Structure 1
Amino acid sequence: MTESGEERLNRLRETVRARLSEKRCRHTLAVEDMVARLCALYCPEETERMRAAALLHDITKELSVPEQVVLCHAYGIPIGEDDLLAPKTLHARTAAAQIPVEYPEFDDPTIVSAVRWHTTGHAEMTLTEKLLYLADYIDDSRTFRNCVILRRYFWGADPQSMTAQAREALLRDTLLLSYDMTVRDLIDEGTPVAVDTIEARNELLRGKG
């Protein structure tokens, strides 16, 4: 008997649950729910893959910085000085690199790229990359001020009632606002801003994203 997509996701969910803390697991499941809601608006055909990406996006999040560095070396991921000054972004790269090794049945370019870019974003993001990035920012478990503001901004606009064109504009504006808030926070913290984030923001400002 062929395993259904839902059965595969259920199995993945239990595997991921076993390696995460209760708090991280709550967030992960909330991101899975949020990305499914976003896919329903923008690309229903990608829902299964994006739910898998959501389940996998933080599988290395709780590793220490030295452990992240070890994984980066093991997977041939280059690390710069800015990465070590702002190591919170490393888990996106190490998680993406682990998928082909530890979860080969989910080694799908759409899944891997969404996981890879869910923290910083980058120029020329695909729709699925944008949706996981946004889902991670506005999932219902997030109580940080900026997350609440962004969640209300997006859902308060009632995207379900919009035309496809208006919905695309809302996604663009929401992403731009997220980058603005992220950059301001990093500046206030005295933390380097990822070049990928700046390039993603600039692309949206030019109207090309």
Structure 2
Amino acid sequence: MADKIKTEKNTAVNIDEKKLSELRAIISEYTDISGRRLSHTLSVEKECGVLAEIFGLCENDRRRLCAAALLHDITKEKTLDEQLALCRHYDIDYPHETVRSPKVFHGWTASAVMRDKYAEYCDEEMCSAVFVHTTGREDMTLFESLLYLADYIEPLRKYESCLAVRDYFYKGVAEIACPESDRENNLMILLFRTLLKSFDCTIKELIREQEEIFYLTVKSRNSLIHKLTVHNLS
């Protein structure tokens, strides 16, 4: 099923600044991405760099997160028929009802394309983050969560919900002034709460538009509710 993510032990690819610049140039010339989509992609990359610094990722992980951002939407503008063709080509199994939530496909197909066409620029953790960047999943890793969040709150997003979630997150970051030992824990709590708000906004919008809510989105939200409830943080 498409919600099953490869779980091989990840060997992190080394991404230096030269390699990241190469990938940025490749994506900038990518014919399947419109100017608007490219602007969004570059903004997500920049946001990933900011989030990586906030959460204390090492330099290679920061660059890996930025590289994942550059690749996350490479199939976004393909038609449903093209998405289904990619699913067949890469043997991506999916529930039949997914065709009624077509925006879901591009995370899965982009993950497959980057593994196939851009292997020197990615590893399994990066592919996994791209795979789930639209729907999320239960128990997302920090790396996955940061790409998901960057995609939602990058500053070119002008939707009211995106602006509200961005404002909530950065106000929360500004209010965290505590010893280093507590800062990491408080940042993770803020991340969980921010992700929950983003899922709530997505679900509310789907309900308002009378569109179907994809099951992985519901499972992702429920997973965050469980984490916050178990730790008495809701």
Q: TM-score, normalised by structure 2?
A: 0.84
Work out whether residues 53 and 112 of structure 1, in 8 Å CA contact, stay in contact via their aligned partners in 2.
Answer: yes
Question: SS of the residue aligned with 1:44?
Answer: coil
Q: Unpaired segments of 5 or more residues in structure 2? A: 1-13, 178-182
Find out whether 1:114 has 2:129 as its counterpart. Answer: yes
Question: SS of the residue aligned with 1:157?
Answer: helix
Deviates more, 1:158-167 or 1:134-143: 158-167
Q: Which residue does the alignment assign to 2:109?
A: 94
Deviates more, 1:46-55 or 1:160-169: 160-169
CA distance in structure 1 between the partners assigned to 2:17 and 2:100 by the alignment: 40
Q: Which residue does the alignment assign to 1:38?
A: 51
CA distance in structure 1 between the partners assigned to 2:127 and 2:174 by the alignment: 27
CA distance in structure 2 between the partners assigned to 1:68 and 1:53 by the alignment: 20
Work out whether residues 67 and 122 of structure 2, in 8 Å CA contact, stay in contact via their aligned partners in 1.
Answer: no
Equivalent residues, number: 207
Matches within 5 A, 1:16-165: 16-19=27-30, 20-45=33-58, 46-159=61-174, 161-162=176-177, 163-165=183-185
Work out whether residues 82 and 192 of structure 1, in 8 Å CA contact, stay in contact via their aligned partners in 2.
Answer: no
Work out whether residues 41 and 160 of structure 1, in 8 Å CA contact, stay in contact via their aligned partners in 2.
Answer: no
Work out whether residues 186 and 193 of structure 1, in 8 Å CA contact, stay in contact via their aligned partners in 2.
Answer: yes
Name the structure with the higher helix share. Answer: 1
Q: Which runs of 4+ in 1 moved over 4 A?
A: none
Question: SS of the residue aligned with 2:29?
Answer: helix
Find out whether 1:14 has 2:25 as its counterpart. Answer: yes
Q: Which residue does the alignment assign to 2:219?
A: 199
CA distance in structure 2 between the partners assigned to 1:38 and 1:184 by the alignment: 26
CA distance in structure 1 between the partners assigned to 2:64 and 2:51 by the alignment: 13
Distance change in 2, residues 1:4/1:50 (3 Å): closer
Amino acid of the structure 1 residue aligned with 2:71: L
Question: SS of the residue aligned with 1:158?
Answer: helix
Work out whether residues 19 and 121 of structure 2, in 8 Å CA contact, stay in contact via their aligned partners in 1.
Answer: no
Matches within 5 A, 1:169-184: 169-184=189-204
Work out whether residues 83 and 89 of structure 1, in 8 Å CA contact, stay in contact via their aligned partners in 2.
Answer: yes
CA distance in structure 1 between the partners assigned to 2:78 and 2:167 by the alignment: 31
Q: Deviations over 1:64-122 (max 9, x none)?
A: 11111111111111233321111011000000000121101023011101100100000
Q: TM-score, normalised by structure 1?
A: 0.94
Work out whether residues 15 and 63 of structure 2, in 8 Å CA contact, stay in contact via their aligned partners in 1.
Answer: no
Work out whether residues 173 and 187 of structure 2, in 8 Å CA contact, stay in contact via their aligned partners in 1.
Answer: no
The RMSD of aligned alpha carbons is 1.7
Q: CA offset at residue 159 of structure 1? A: 4.4
Q: Percent identity?
A: 38
Amino acid of the structure 1 residue aligned with 2:213: V
2:188 aligned residue (168, 179, 182):
168
Q: Which residue does the alignment assign to 1:5?
A: 16
Q: Deviations over 1:169-189 (max 9, x none)?
A: 110100000111111111222
